[in-house]
Amino acid sequence: MRAKRSVPTLLSRFTGLIVFICPAWFITYKSLLWDPTTKHEGTECDLSHGKWIRDPTGRPLYTNGTCEFIQPAQNCEKNGRPDNEYLKWRWKPDSCELPHFDPSLYLSLVRGKKLLFLGDSLARNHHQSLLCSLSQVETPRKLYARGRKDIKLEFPSHGFVLAILWSPLLVQHRRTSQAFEIHLDTPEAVWASEVSSYDIVVISAGQWFFRPSIYYVKNTTVGRNEQLPHSSLPDVKFTYGLKMAFASALEYVLHSAGFSGLVILRTEAMSHYEHGQWNSGGTCNKTKPTANQSSEVTWTPSEMRRLQLEASREVLTRKSRAKFRIIDITRSMFLRPDGHPGRYRGQEDLVVHDCLHWCLPGPIDMWNQMLLHVLQEEVSQKL
């Protein structure tokens, strides 16, 4: 996985110089390499760029018969999807190998730790993928649950707590009959009050910023996004709302919450609707990854990812006790239009396709390979 000369070895010779030039960036040595799309001589492999390679002998860690935690709408095999080609591909980074996910190794790395997923239904999708993989080693016990949105479980023999809190916009908001009223500078109370009790926090969100919204900063109306027509309020792009919400959430965790663990930002995972959207006849009927794997990521997911990274950069200009890493899955998932439930979502209305969430098991399980890679690198730094 690593180049011949490790990052710590190289940086140990230059640490003093780096701190002298830019002391505010010296949170951890990896925060200096915060953008995973930038290749640095002598650093660890860039997992965000690569290609999907067919692996006909590969088997998923779990099935719908061995995991009870799969949400029905993402249980593609049970819902009648006739092909399983989408399970026979593995992600190959350009300059290294990404090992298969090892649930036993993962649990040993997080022994005695608490991990929180924070975000929307794609965060829940990821949470369930990890939960299914880990449950092949040990059956977790439920500590708390409010439907599928707020869940806390424990793997007793490892003392590991895995939780998820529903926060689709990351910041405080209220839903009215016409729009979401979003306070972009105020972290949502549902997670802000307890985030400091966790050791690892995985943050992701995105799709809810496309809903009709009115934005507030310091309790003052800033404007409305383009999804809310016929309003006298100033027009403010959804990109402004998304970037500021991420910046507010990251600022709070890294600087205001007393958090001293590891913060992981997962970048945007795009949908693959064709011929319309979810409510206008959009479909996703592909059964293989995108043939041209060098094709460029389309504007919307690319722009959302860019804004997430910009928000991270701005927040990281001030020193923090916490560590920060990025799991950049935008390009890899752009190439997998075959991995969604589509019409196999277990609903009677087969006209509506789900081209946003991911089948379980499926391509999304690769996110846990990247998560394990990050934890392996951080454990030597006494996470």
What is the DSSP secondary structure assignment for residue 328, as one 8-state letter? Answer: -
| Catalytic one of 121, 133, 312, 320 | 121
| Catalytic one of 46, 120, 354, 365 | 354
What CA–CA distance (Å, rounded) separates 97 from 1?
6
127 catalytic per annotation: no
For the sheet with 213-217, list strands across it: 171-175, 180-187, 213-217, 220-224
| Catalytic one of 126, 158, 357, 373 | 357
349 catalytic per annotation: no
338 catalytic per annotation: no
Query: Distance of CA 280 to CAs 276, 277, 283, 285, 352, Å?
Result: 5, 5, 9, 16, 8
- Provide the CB-side half-sphere exposure for 341 (13 A, CA): 28
Q: Which residue has the tokens 């690198």?
A: 377
Residue type, position 240, single letter: Y
What CA–CA distance (Å, rounded) separates 109 from 111?
6
Q: Which candidate, 215, 219, 201, places its Cα nearest to that of 123?
A: 201
Residue type, position 87, single letter: L
Using only the alpha carbons of the chain, give its radius of gyration: 21
Structure tokens at 39: 């290749």
Name beta bridge partners: 349. none
Asked if residue 199 lies in contact with residue 223, where contact means CB atoms within 8 angstroms, the answer is: no
- Provide the CB-side half-sphere exposure for 140 (13 A, CA): 25
Q: Exposed/middle/buried for 111, CB within 10 Å: 0-12, 13-18, 19+? A: exposed
Active-site positions read 121, 354, 357
